[in-house]
Homo-oligomer: A and B are copies of this chain.
């Protein structure tokens, strides 16, 4: 169960409205790696957690914090939209600055949302639950989380670069710092799990059942071999169980596929060496 307090976790006060920037800032609210994504991802990972309670508790703590980040961004965007100019076109066309603002805004901010934030990304695409990753395997999921915090911090930094509003930058400096913590946090949790399970997910599959002769081979499917210069092409594998090998000309190991003709009731194309069908009925 949850409780709300009215104060924001951190300040979200722009110095001045900026509806074009409001559109861009939507990316870290409702984009693939926005705050709604991490909020939903952590909450669902926590609620579905079948492992130790310390993981469940930790995941839900951070999931609860992310709701507060969604709140901060929504609040910021609403203020960036204060008094956005949406008046007559003709006049706008005369003033290129207003024209640029009106062309660059997300029209739904005015028409649909009445100058409020939307759970969408910076091109207006709605947040979708397909962004949420929760597999029941924590090592897999913590890698998803580390990625989310990496992409998220990268986007926040890019948004920091393209504004000079001190209020917006102040809020972003907080979110960026939290992303620093959260990257560190998932690195720590991954470290703990890898110590116990090893680095290959899932650790519980009997590797005798996998085709082990290709478990450590880098296959070079192109002309040229620049790809040979990396750590992935030679030396011991990172799970400590094999040695990387570089295969310059990988050969096909499988059959040439020939599919059977479809049964008549499917009405596909009939191979030319078969008689045309009698009427189907």
Contact = CB atoms under 8 A, between A and B. Distances in A.
B157 A267 contact: yes
Interface string A198-224: 011111111111111111111111111
Interface string A122-140: 1111111111111111111
B253 A6 contact: no
B136 A260 contact: no
* Shortest Cβ-Cβ A-B pairs, 7 listed: A114-B136, A48-B116, A123-B124, A103-B104, A8-B254, A206-B279, A7-B252
Contact of A262 (B2, B50, B242): B50
Interface residues of A, number: 208
A208 B280 CA distance: 10
Contacts of A52: 271-273
Contacts of A211: 10, 173-174, 176-177
Given A18-B89, A114-B158, A188-B237, 5 more contacts: A48-B116, A180-B210, A180-B216, A204-B276, A206-B280
Contacts of A101: 93, 103
Contacts of A227: 54, 57-58, 61
B89 A238 contact: no
A162 B5 contact: no
